[in-house]
Homo-oligomer: A and B are copies of this chain.
């Protein structure tokens, strides 16, 4: 078990998180979810039921490409990497997020 800190609700930022993770390094699905968990210090937990459909969406949109490969552990895995359009999309969505999170912050600070 070890419950990585039960979190849910990826309020529409799953794509952003995946893209960012892939921009660091091409990776397979399972690895992406691990990475997101590490980088968020255990706060964010991505279910496979959300992850794989999201990856399919992104690939269908042309933001990522994938190919079968082998992990260091000698397991078959599908590796995803960012396309140029994916990089642009990431930049744009990250900017969107900052703006949006900032606006929410202003409201929460209001007195």
Residues of A within 8 A of B (CB): 7, 9, 11-13, 16-17, 20-21, 24, 36, 39-41, 43-44, 94, 97-108, 110-111
B39, A100: Cβ atoms closer than 8 Å? no
Instruction: List, in ascending order, chain B residues with CB within 8 A of A98's CB.
Output: 108
Integer count of this chain's copies in the complex = 2
The listed residue with most B CB atoms (<10 A of its CB), out of A24, A41, A43, A107, is: A107
Instruction: List, in ascending order, chain B residues with CB within 8 A of A40's CB.
Output: 103-104, 106-107
A99, B20: Cβ atoms closer than 8 Å? no
B100, A20: Cβ atoms closer than 8 Å? no
Give the distance to chain B from A93, nearest Cβ to Cβ, in Å: 10
